[in-house]
Structure formats: structure tokens, C-alpha cells
Structure 1
């Protein structure tokens, strides 16, 4: 993972800063409240996937040669007190992959795909590409699903999270998250859950 020059991810830094802050997505200042919940992966003791970002990217790219992820680059977050390493991979001008890594081990706490809508004749194609990347991320963790089943699962999650700054659905050992900030962007994420033992 390389250190990103300041301008490399300039168009996505504000969005990533909001997603990586005290809340999952940052609404307009007029809408912001003191009661926005902290993203679960920011909490002390939040679990990690047993993967580093380099290991994830290698396995993901082997499984998805038509939807590759470039190397993740560290995001400068000097004001961040969460003790996590933030990194992002630019897919194109309006599509990014991002992550938060456990300090020291480099293991993954969250994997995110963020689409920044850009109105114009190419918006529909850009949206379809974003959905393809989100589906590929979902299938990485649920490889037994067919492409059609993965598309249906993703659409169900996005519909449930439509218009919501934070929507989460737990399934087995995974948490699927949707952060829909309207014209400011849409993020889909996969995170690990800390499973507790059932008590008799």
C-alpha cells in the first residue's frame, strides 16, 4: 500500500472524511445532529477480517479480472483519533473503493465502494459500473451466490437503505451497510461481525 500524493484522491477526500468520521455519512450541516451513531467499525474492539488489504486485493482481482481494484493508497488523516489506517483505491473519476485497517496488523475493518453521481449522458453507465463493483464485493464474501442472486441481494439492500444515511443488515458473520447521501454519493460496505456464543 503506497502513500497517496495529496492530489491523487482530491475529489474523494471530503466524502471519505465524512464516511470515516464519527458517523457513517455526513449530512448537510443543517441536518447534522449530536445523535448520529458512530460507525461500528470505529468502536473499540470492533472485529477485523482475517485479511490485509493486499491479500484482499490479490484474491478479489483474481476472482474479478473485469472489475479490477488498483493498489490502495493511504489517506492522510492527521486529525483522526480512531487509531485506524484509512486507504482508498480510485476506480475512475466517480467511483472509489476504500477501507479502514487495524493499526499494527493491517487487517481490514471495513470494505467500501462509493459512487459519486455526476449528472450527464454517461451517468447511467457509471451507475451500472458502480453496481457491478458493489455486486463483486458482495460475491467475494458470499461466493456460493450466482451473479443473478448477488444482483438481487444487492438491489434488496440498496432499496432498504434508499435515502438513509446509515442502514445495516446483519447476515451470519457479515454486516452489509448502505449509506445513501443522495446526490452526494452512495456507499455500499461489507464488515465483519463479532459473533457471540449462544448461552444455554
Structure 2
């Protein structure tokens, strides 16, 4: 694996690792543990292969390549981590439940570029993020999903961890400035309403 790809895969796992480039003391004081790392965290009812096949069929202009495992021998989370390179500054990553291969989190990470290509690169990142939103909320059209993404990114601007629940989904933004911007989609564990439990 070449150094550029390795660097990109590491950057794509910024949020996956739950570190967000903070030092240990800062993490313990300010960073919540990523929800998908908690015991009993829910999964989407699909594997990464199933997601990618359906996603690519619905988004031929915004394809995802095969996800490759990220070698992390120090990981004690009992998750399998993988990433897919979209281009030199855009990656998708995931954490999978070991054994079932079901998805715990799906992420898009954009590594900022400088100069005249910045706007086009950022717009492409937004398009992929909006496509992820539409995949999980198919009732939204392209304009509505893009608006949801831009609203979430604005609320998460400058924050290392910002989360917003929408129905059965949790959207997460991790803004690390020049080190990268990650947008994630995760399932929520829904509790039954008290009256429905008694029936």
C-alpha cells in the first residue's frame, strides 16, 4: 500500500478511532466515547457489501470502491474497520460488528485541499455526504439531503464531535479543521414507548 493511500486510510478512520487527534487528557475531559463503541450499540441490518451494492446502483455518478480492512492490531473494540478510497482527498470508512459483518457506522472523510481545486473538492464531498443521507432517508430528494448535510456541517463547524438524531438515525460531524472533516451516519437503538410495552 503506498504512503498516500495509507495516510488517507488513517485520516478516514479519524472518527472511527474515537481519537479525533486529541491528546489523552483532552479526550477524557471533552470527547465523548463514540456511540458505536459502546456495549450493545446497534447495527444497520446489512453488511458493507450489501450497502455498497445498493448504494452504487442508486448513485452511479458517486460510486464507492470496495472497502479494504484497516490493520489496527491495538484495537480492543472487537470491531472490523475498513475504508474505501474515493479520490486523493475523499474517503469512506466503516466499523463492522465482528462475526456478523453488520455496519455500526458509515463515514465520509474529506481532507481539505488548498488552491483553486478546493471548492470542487468540497462540493464533491458534500455530494457524497448527501448521497449517504438519501440512502438512509430515501424520502428526501437531492436538494433536501444537501440542505440537511450543510445544516449539520454548519452546526458542527469547529467541533470535534457534534451529533444530531433524526428518527432512527444519528448524524455525526467531526471537524478537525485542516486535518479533515468527517460526516457519519449511525443507527439509533429505539426504545419502545411505555404504553406499547404494556400491551
CA distance in 2, matches of 1:146, 1:93: 28
Query: CA RMSD for the aligned pairs?
Result: 1.7
Please list, as runs of the form range in 1=range in 2, the aligned pairs for 1:30-49 lying within 5 A after superposition. 32-35=26-29, 36-49=31-44
Q: How many residues align?
A: 194
SS of match in other structure, 2:40? coil
Give CA deviations for 1:133-155 in whole Å, capped at 9, x if unaligned. Answer: 00001110011111111111111
CA distance in 2, matches of 1:189, 1:47: 15
Q: Does 1:104 align with 2:102?
A: no
8 Å contact 2:42–2:188 — kept in the other structure? yes
TM-score by length of 1: 0.91
Give 5+ residue unaligned stretches, structure 2: none
2:8 to 8, 12, 16: 12
8 Å contact 1:19–1:26 — kept in the other structure? no
1:156 to 141, 151, 158: 151
8 Å contact 1:101–1:109 — kept in the other structure? yes
- 1:129 aligned residue: 124
- 1:26 aligned residue: 21
8 Å contact 1:18–1:26 — kept in the other structure? yes
SS of match in other structure, 1:34? helix
- 1:197 aligned residue: 192
Moved more, 141-150 or 69-78: 141-150
CA distance in 1, matches of 2:18, 2:24: 17
CA distance in 2, matches of 1:119, 1:31: 31
TM-score by length of 2: 0.92
Give 5+ residue unaligned stretches, structure 1: none
Q: Does 1:184 align with 2:179?
A: yes
